[in-house]
Amino acid sequence: MTERQTSFNLLSALKRTLKKYDPGLRAARIHTRSKKNEESRALSTKRLEDISNKSQEILFEASTVFPFNFIPDTIRIDREKITVANRPFFRTAKIDGIPIRDILDVQVSTGPILGSVLLYSRYFESKPISINFLRKDDATKLRRILQGYIIANEQKIDCSNIEKNQLVTLLTKLGTGSSD
């Protein structure tokens, strides 16, 4: 055996002996671990509460126009996700929630009065989520905000601490194209 292995074995044996004959040392170590776990748990809980509270802030919401869609569909953007509620029949809904970081592209088709939105995400690549019969202004503003969010995410910009109205303004400005 080398000198290093011998000293390591001796050190390991000494630690085992101390643990066996000094339970207070073991209890202190366990107490330290549990205290670290409690601090970590408290920090995680606080962070989750902050995210939860901020995710309830609706940045933008739009509904489809009544005569064209008997039961209005809605699309809602908050700080964390996009929620699309398609209502095919009275008191029924298909609700899709997509984290903003997973949005790949937003396409808008507009006419003189109405517009349609297609959302492409990492998880719905083959079949984009669509919402039709939105007001033209709502469809355009929705695209601008989402394009701004896509660009901000690509640039790794943290938008969580920006005040709501300022965030909407900045995202809209960032998402406005040269042809808008």
CATH number at residue 144: 2.30.29.30
Per the structure, the complete domain to which residue 10 belongs is given by 3-53
- The CA distance from 174 to 176, in Å, is 6
- The CA distance from 105 to 131, in Å, is 14
| Residue 24 falls inside a structural domain | yes
Whether residue 77 is found in the same domain as residue 13 = no
Name every residue whose Cβ is closer than 8 Å to that of residue 26 and which is 6 or more positions away in sequence: 19
The pLDDT profile of the chain, 180 residues, written as one tens digit per residue, is 555 455 556 667 766 666 665 555 555 555 555 667 778 888 888 888 877 777 788 999 999 998 777 889 999 999 989 999 988 888 888 898 899 999 999 999 999 999 999 999 988 777 898 899 999 999 999 999 999 999 999 999 988 889 999 999 999 999 998 776
